[in-house]
Structure 1
């Protein structure tokens, strides 16, 4: 299981790079579940991670994927969503994350509009009210790079607590059957790692677990290193992982 960590600036991005995370995710936690950073900040972080700033940070040899959220935007404002997605993609990130509700016709319509963009879009299904099969299938279209499930109300409990393992296992299986990489996020903690390993997502996203205080606080390098070590030490259900994820991990 690979590790995604959300960061808000160059300093936090360099800390994530030093820790060897697999996905460095750019967002502003104080602006909502998928709060967007200003475009100049996104460009600054991308330049630091891909230019001389990465070497100065003493980072590992591997090059993490860089994702960025477009912000918390209503699904019934498609033109605003598309415009912002294009602007974020033009900043040079590898993946553009777009939040959509986990249920409803508006979510499917938003996904259909996003599918035509020449960008590596990752739909993030906001799962507080559950997920439905039609939205999952629309989010698993071949046009998309991956699919995630996340939560809006971070203080209401983790994604695991809100949806339960049966619903999440069904989501992961459906995404893998469609050939998509799948990630889980939403107030996940170190204590959730065994359960996550049993579920078998391709990656898991963290913010609260690696901050000093709330998710809007500063990234704590010690917590980040501890989480990285805990993930490396967490045993996985190898047969289940192979059965579910072979196609997705080969992407």
Structure 2
């Protein structure tokens, strides 16, 4: 079954998303970029609020939009976000000259880091395999530029399937995100990642709007419906 990850910016949105059926809660500030970070104080507050009602609901948080070659800054932010008590720390990684060096550093840190490959210019299956072999708990494929293009506009579906297999072969959770909507539902179901992540599709008024619990429920049902159909 593909689990629904809902990206939220506040404790109110986090509680709404959890109650509406999101299996994973992801903390990010959409106004600060693709992987814009919520303040450390606010992350800590959201984690405490959410866990008082949903003690085992997995929570992730982003470190912000940081260039892949800024490895010292990335490492420092990973430690800071990891110390807030989240289960996973998400870090954007752009394929290129610095990607492997960044991944090696991330794998050495005392935090459960989930690399988020920013696939606007495509993705390398070998890079995915390299990341998976480092033992990350999960690998996500996303986009950095929110200009109306989706992940499937940037990466061929067959290439994504190869990447998902490469990641899954080493036990990593696999995730897809990147301006996904109803037009991509059939492709999501076909690829069957462990996680599908959403922000824009869950909000009234677009990515920067308020999360709508009804939309969360609709997406949870849509993702789970395929699993029910497969079981029969």
Cα distance in 1 between the residues matched to 2:180 and 2:71: 30
> What is the number of equivalent residue pairs in this alignment?
230
TM superposition score normalised by structure 1: 0.87
**Correspondence list, 1:1-251, <5 A:** 1-51=2-52, 54=53, 63-101=56-94, 103-234=95-226, 238=230
SS at match of 1:104: coil
SS at match of 1:15: helix
Contact 2:24 2:58 in 1 (8 A): yes
How far residue 193 of structure 1 moved from its aligned partner, in angstroms, is 1.9
Greater alpha carbon shift after TM alignment, 22-31 vs 190-199: 190-199
SS at match of 1:123: strand
Cα distance in 2 between the residues matched to 1:105 and 1:78: 13
Contact 1:22 1:65 in 2 (8 A): yes
Q: Which has the higher contact order (CA 8 A, sep 6+)?
A: 2
Cα distance in 2 between the residues matched to 1:171 and 1:212: 32
Unaligned runs of 5+ in 1: 240-251
Unaligned runs of 5+ in 2: none
Equivalent position of 1:249 in the other structure: none
CA RMSD of aligned residues (A): 1.7
